[in-house]
Amino acid sequence: MNCVAMNTTAVNEQYSLVNSTILGSSKIRAFLSVEVVSDGAVFRAHYKMASPSISTVSISSIASYGPQAGLRSEHKSSALGFNAAKFLKCFSGLKAAASVNLESDASFLGRESNAALLASSIPKVQQSQRASNQFQPQASFKVAVLGAAGGIGQPLALLIKMSPLVSALHLYDIANVKGVAADLSHCNTPSQVLDFTGPLELANCLKGVDVVVIPAGVPRKPGMTRDDLFNINANIVKSLVEAVADNAPNAFIHIISNPVNSTVPIAAEVLKQKGVYDPKKLFGVTTLDVVRANTFVAQQKNLKLVDVDVPVIGGHAGITILPLLSKTRPSVTFTDEEVEQLTVRIQNAGTEVVEAKAGAGSATLSMAYAAARFVESSLRALDGDGEVYECSFVQSELTELPFFASRVELGKKGVEAVISADLHRLTEYEAKALEALKPELKASIEKGVAFVEKRAAVAAN
């Protein structure tokens, strides 16, 4: 997701801007690498910028390298102007409630990997000249993936490995995770990769982690509904969340294992039984529904993908998935037929993939992408970034249902706010669909709660 933007017109006469790269960005910070050429020599600076709203970046000290590096080892002072806000528009991955919302996220190829790539292509003498201008590693968060050897787990682990915010990546599975970790550990990004196999190593995997992502379980096969998965995945999620409660009670928990409408309530009940339930830190990952909605709407309406943002509310199965097309940003109109066709496609997009894979599993790559985006948003929130918004299935008071997916604001302590604005002024179609989804979602939530209560009753006797 590394982007090179060319903008020679904005540069003063003395210098030509040849390459500017966003190494990582957020709503409040941007990390830039800028190259300029003067008299045949190339100058490069790494820059940390406080706010994307600043329209001009001034580079006051840049190290030289290139053909004349030996001759020009002094640092130069120069002012270089370009429109930073314009650059950042195509990089912010955050979902801001009140501003344009963007998908693309530079930080999956973070500034550390970028720095490493730069280092490997620049002679050593020149590297030392750059040293004072290089970024200090900012990676500081530990992330655990439980079910890391699976179809989702592997690409998800790769994407998390690319995050500049991650210092340790703990990969757990009941089998085959050693090879995944060995393979990933060769990527020259900052995080250290450790593998953990089987229940005896689970506690060590979880100690001290900030975010636990759970894609462990069985995927849907053709002809299977999400409910068919219930008994297998309910047991897996229950036992994994018990271990999280014992070893990482303060971590953000991201549940991917289906049926999310039930596995999240299961996780909540387990955490309650353990006395460590914090509803602000338990998330059902529904990001894939948003990712799909954005993609399909952009295709249908011929819009630039990075500009499109469709909130998706309700739950994460069939008709409980409710894309609010009337709240699409940028504002766009749909015919009744388009609303019906798009809504149904978004609700059944998982089945599209299951059938196309013909027995070889369900959505894994798009799911890994979506889950990595949610992890990245969580890490940014933990890191203190403001205005981090994502849709997620969380404990909620927006409706009479105890859990509900909606846009939430993420902060250091988890859910800072559940955003109600999207549910105002629904179209007639959306209002009806919302009422129609409630009985099914309620039943799925109750099924999850009942599962844990029954297990507790059995254990007590």
Ligand X SMILES: NC(=O)c1ccc[n+]([C@@H]2O[C@H](COP(=O)([O-])OP(=O)(O)OC[C@H]3O[C@@H](n4cnc5c(N)ncnc54)[C@H](O)[C@@H]3O)[C@@H](O)[C@H]2O)c1
Cβ contacts of 6 within 8 Å, gap of 6 or more: 17, 18, 19, 20
What three-state secondary structure class fits 300?
A: helix
**Active-site residue among 75, 170, 316, 424?**
316
Contacting residue, 22, 59, 206, 236, with ligand X by CB under 6 A: 236
Task: State the residue number with the nearest CB to ligand X.
Answer: 150
Q: Of these, 30, 267, 313, 367, which contacts ligand X (CB under 6 A)?
A: 367
> Is residue 3 a contact residue for ligand X (CB under 6 A)?
no
Applying CB under 6 A, the span of 22-30, 217-225, 382-390, 406-414 interacting with ligand X comes to 217-225
Residues 108-167 that bind ligand X (CB under 6 A): 146-147, 149-153
Place of tokens 């020599």: 41
User: Which residue, 164 or 318, has its beta carbon nearer to ligand X?
Assistant: 318
Per CB under 6 A, the list member of 18, 174, 332, 418 interacting with ligand X is 174
How far is the CA of 39 from the CAs of 11, 14, 43, 75, 122, in angstroms? 15, 9, 11, 15, 19
Among 288, 388, 408, 437, binds ligand X (CB under 6 A): 288
Q: Which stretch in 124-132, 173-181, 384-392, 427-435 sits in contact with ligand X by CB under 6 A?
A: 173-181
Total chain residues near ligand X (CB under 6 A): 32
Which residues 6+ apart lie within 8 Å of 154 measured at CB? 148, 180, 368
Instruction: Check residue 364 for interaction with ligand X (CB under 6 A).
Output: yes
Active site residue 316: yes
The Cα 207–Cα 237 span in angstroms is 18
- Which among 50-58, 214-222, 271-279, 338-346 is the span making contact with ligand X, rule CB under 6 A? 214-222
**Does 215 help bind ligand X (rule: CB under 6 A)?**
yes
Alpha helices in 324-427 (DSSP H): 336-347, 349-357, 365-382
Instruction: Classify 97 as helix, strand or coil.
Output: coil
Residue from 69, 158, 260, 342 touching ligand X (CB under 6 A): that is: 260
- Is the Cβ of residue 201 or residue 416 nearer to ligand X in the bound state? 201
Is residue 391 close enough to count as binding ligand X by CB under 6 A? no
Integer angstrom CA distances of residue 346 from 178, 325, 351, 354, 389: 36, 11, 10, 14, 21
| Candidate residues 23, 42, 57, 363; the one interacting with ligand X per rule CB under 6 A | 363
Nearest to 263 by CA among 440, 406, 445, 418: 445
- DSSP one-letter code for 139: -
Question: Which value, to the nearest 10 degrees, does the dihedral of the CA atoms of residues 309, 318, 403, 242 take?
Answer: -110
Residue from 160, 216, 282, 325 in contact with ligand X (CB under 6 A): 216
